[in-house]
Structure 1
Amino acid sequence: MRFSLNPFRRPSSPIPIASGRPARSAARSRRFPISPSWILGALAMFLTVYFWNDLPSLTPSSRTLPLAAPSPAPVAGSIDRENARFAHCAGARRTTCVVDGDTFWYEGRKIRIADINAPETSTPSCPHEAQLGARATARMTELLNQGPFSLQAWSDGRDTDRYGRALRVVTRGGRSLGEVLVSEGLAERWKGYRGDWC
């Protein structure tokens, strides 16, 4: 008895022909069929492996919007003592609220964040500035509400600006909250004059 090593080969009996050699049967000459779904499956696997690093992650952090980016990492040894719940300023009476990306009221005092300049919201020069200003306002409100912070004197020695606003750098853990807005494109570092957002 003979055993075949090929599982796809069908046993066949040789059919004699005139030359004396056995003829190949039709079943033996057939090739193993390749299905189109096999080709598509192999292509899909190749593309998945090839583009694996570019696929979006399903972790919650990858779905975080720019306005919800984490606050700066704290610096060891810093103690933040100021804390309040901020909302957007509305109406004439203002105690603790955010005017725009670089101005807010805290316990009845108006504070200008001294190390940045944010887009205007009350008198924007163009729709683009108005849109950026609204985003900067929302982001600064969020940052102030994330926990205790500190108000530090401005490095040029001035306590107030010409409008009577207290000039302060707002920090958390020794890191400037204004710099967060700068890194996200919602403000610019203060350079002594108002920038152009249009």
Structure 2
Amino acid sequence: MAGRGRALRYRSRRRGWLDTLPLLPFTLLALGLGGGGTMILRESGLADWLLGSPAGSAAPTVSRSFPVCAGGARITCVVDGDTFWLDGVKFRIADINTPETSQPQCAAEAALGRQATGRLAQLLSEAPFTLEPADRDEDRYGRKLRIAMRDGQSVGGMLVSEGLAHQWRGRMESWC
């Protein structure tokens, strides 16, 4: 009985620590360990916008190079066709769903997922865009949900028109 109580206390203590992980990028940036990330966030206006800017304020314009993510720290890079990191914050493009690259269901999905990933990296890098609010702030994985817009057109919509994404309909659709 005493061992069980100790295990429950350990689990609750461990769970409490894990609950702080989504805040880690902000903590590192606040401490200045983000490789200059604090200055980038402040200059770009992303810090104020992410932390709750006044209602009606415009989304910041983003103009960066977005390579495909590789090993190591993920600061600004593309994970897959609908997920990317920007200044240490993970975003999911809210209006689309693209093929999986980490656990594809078939070879066709894997190949299309690689194409979508490369194309998103190209689209985000080639010209400035804004990140507009979606129907909710975050998904269940803690990713910021935003719609990437360029010149009044959704970047996700561009991927849909090229056959590299599905319009988001509230659930994942098969690529196989």
Instruction: Give the TM-score, by structure 2 length.
Output: 0.65
* Backbone CA RMSD of aligned residues: 1.5
SS of match in other structure, 2:119? helix
Moved more, 180-189 or 80-89: 80-89
Q: 1 or 2, which has the higher strand percentage?
A: 2
In the TM superposition, structure 1's runs of 4+ consecutive aligned residues that sit over 2 Å from their partners are none
For residue 79 of structure 1, report the CA deviation from its aligned partner: 9.2
**Match of residue 62 from structure 1:** none
For residue 175 of structure 1, report the CA deviation from its aligned partner: 0.7
For residue 147 of structure 1, report the CA deviation from its aligned partner: 1.2
- Which residues in structure 2 correspond to 1:20-31 (within 5 Å)? none
SS of match in other structure, 1:196? coil
C-alpha contact (below 8 Å) 2:82/2:93 kept by paired residues: yes
Structure 1: distance between partners of 2:98 and 2:130? 20
**Match of residue 47 from structure 2:** none
Structure 2: distance between partners of 1:187 and 1:139? 11
| Correspondence for 2:77 among 65, 74, 97 | 97
- Which residues in structure 2 correspond to 1:66-85 (within 5 Å)? 81-85=61-65
Q: 1 or 2, which has the higher helix percentage?
A: 2
Structure 2: distance between partners of 1:95 and 1:80? 18
| Correspondence for 1:171 among 127, 135, 149 | 149
**Structure 2 unmatched runs, 5+:** 1-57
Query: Number of residue pairs matched?
Result: 119
Identity percentage over the alignment? 55
| Correspondence for 2:130 among 150, 155, 174 | 150
Instruction: Give the TM-score, by structure 1 length.
Output: 0.58
**Structure 1 unmatched runs, 5+:** 1-77
**Match of residue 162 from structure 1:** 140
- Which residues in structure 2 correspond to 1:39-58 (within 5 Å)? none
SS of match in other structure, 1:104? strand
State the one-letter code of the partner of 1:149: F
Larger CA Rg, structure 1 vs 2: 1
2:129 aligned with 1:134, yes or no?
no
For residue 92 of structure 1, report the CA deviation from its aligned partner: 3.6
